[in-house]
Amino acid sequence: MTILEQIIADKIEEIDLKKSIIPIHQLEQSVLFNRPKNSLKNRLMQRKSGIIAEHKRRSPSKAIINQNLNVKDVAKGYETAGVCGMSILTDTKYFGGTIEDLMLARASCQLPLLRKDFIIDPYQIFEAKSYGADVILLIAASLTRKEIKTLSVLAKQLDLEVLLEIHNENELNKALMPSLDMIGVNNRNLKTFEVDIKHSKDLSTLIPDDFVKVSESGISSTEAIKSLQPFGFQGFLIGETFMKTKKPGLSAAEFIKTLEA
């Protein structure tokens, strides 16, 4: 069993437990459920930096990154820095996040918020909406075409944007559909965990211009972003580069200042 397969198996059990405690009709009663979204897609198209800054405590590939920071402070810092959006890891077992992190970030900033998790069930989309998300992540490697369509159409019905993550051409071809807003190329090899931004460049020409292109993983320098921009990328998801510092917001501000200089 691969790490992705193990994560999905654990996620199925987690979702079943959550459904038994907080049913969907209760999620729909959240004060945040009818809040108009802040569009990440629009910000990426309008702003120069394209930075989506992440809140991530740990990961299977890097173990502990930073567990000493308050998500409220990180959110405020990222907003002050001028990032385009914030990605919140809500998986607990493998990434140390919680769905409450999403709610705390929502209460602390006006940034577009991406719920980053292994979404496999409609329940998680209702949950994302009720806790303040603007965008959900769908991972093509863990979903069939039918599942991607079902989940992305539901997200649009709930006024959420959809970022689809791909790793190769087969996943892209399987997943292309009008209910997506952004296509993210993950530069990390799921088998070896090695990262190479050349992966984004190789797949860039295959992504239709209808979708905003986002490069994910392994982006740690302004030079990397400048090398990706000519390939049509407008979004750059950055996690560990900021989170491994004591003040991610300040690190993001300095990064953006250098990028836009």
What CA–CA distance (Å, rounded) separates 141 from 229? Answer: 25
Specify whether 186 is catalytic: yes
Q: Active site residue: 41, 116, 129, 213, which one?
A: 116
59 is catalytic: no
| Catalytic residue check, 216 | yes
Instruction: Give the Cα-Cα-Cα angle 95, 167, 151 (nearest 5 degrees).
Output: 70
Of 54, 79, 161, 240, catalytic: 54
Q: Inter-axis angle of helices 122-130 and 145-157, to 10 degrees?
A: 30
56 is catalytic: yes
Rounded to an integer, what distance in angstroms lies between the CA atom of residue 10 and that of residue 29? Answer: 27
Q: Which of 59, 186, 215, 251 is catalytic?
A: 186
Active site residue 226: no
Asked whether the beta carbons of 94 and 63 are under 8 A apart, the reply is no
Is 14 among the catalytic positions? Answer: no
* Candidate list 79, 217, 240, 251, residue with the active-site label: 217
The single residue of 127, 161, 171, 216 carrying the catalytic annotation is 216
Q: Which one is catalytic: 79, 165, 171, 240?
A: 165
116 catalytic? Reply is: yes
Catalytic entry in 56, 129, 201, 213: 56
Give me the active site residues, please.
54, 56, 116, 165, 186, 216-217
